[in-house]
Amino acid sequence: MSKKFHVSTTVNGDPVEFLCDSRETVLDVLRDRLSLTGAKEGCGTGDCGACSITVDDRLVCACLMLGAEAEGKSIETVEGIAAGEDLHPLQKRFIEYAALQCGICTPGILVAAKNLLEKHPDPTEEQVRYWLAGNLCRCTGYDKIIRAVMDTAAEMREAS
């Protein structure tokens, strides 16, 4: 097939190297080459947010970015949110509030929500809703998701 690209990058803090084809997306690379299957493909066209990751702290749809573009970047995925066994406050609240059902949107929503709280530690509810508007969930109806994010934000502000 086509020429392979050699890419050096950082994933969840670990230096990573991989070879990929010119057409492979970061999502393909993460899932098929690095066995990080937390990011999901819900649409492949940037409309559902199931594949959300951050690249140099910017929220990105992994299905819209080529693997070759990851050179020299720092990527964070859902697998990097917890510190070992210690869950991030967002993860704890999502469990506690039952803010998930089938769970397949959850990785993308957590990545997006964490990115929001890093940039806006004190978001309004409207801000949360519009920040997460690109992350579709077919199961929950979103109410518990919003409440989990709002309450985590409050908790994290108190803690810091």
Among 140, 146, 148, 152, which residue interacts with ligand FES (rule: CB under 6 A)? 140
Q: Which residue has the tokens 């057409």?
A: 23
Which partner, other proteins, ligand FES, none, binds residue 23 by CB below 5 to 8 Å per kind?
other proteins
Rounded CA gap, 68 and 25, in Å? 8
**Separation CA 145–CA 21 (nearest Å):** 37
d(CA 78, CA 27): 13
Q: Which is nearer to other proteins, 8 or 37 (CB)?
A: 37
State yes or no: residue 14 binds other proteins (CB under 8 A): no
Among residues 16, 52, 70, 94, the one that binds other proteins under rule CB under 8 A: 94
Hey, which bits of 12-122 come out as E strands? 14-21, 52-55, 58-61, 74-76
- Taking CB under 8 A as the rule, does residue 82 contact other proteins? yes
Residues 33-52 that bind other proteins (CB under 8 A): 35-45, 47-48, 50
Minimum CB separation of residue 140 from other proteins in Å reads 5
Single residue of 82, 101, 150, 151 touching ligand FES by CB under 6 A: 101
Amino acid identity, position 136? L
Residue 156 found at the interface with other proteins (CB under 8 A): no
3-state secondary structure of 130: helix
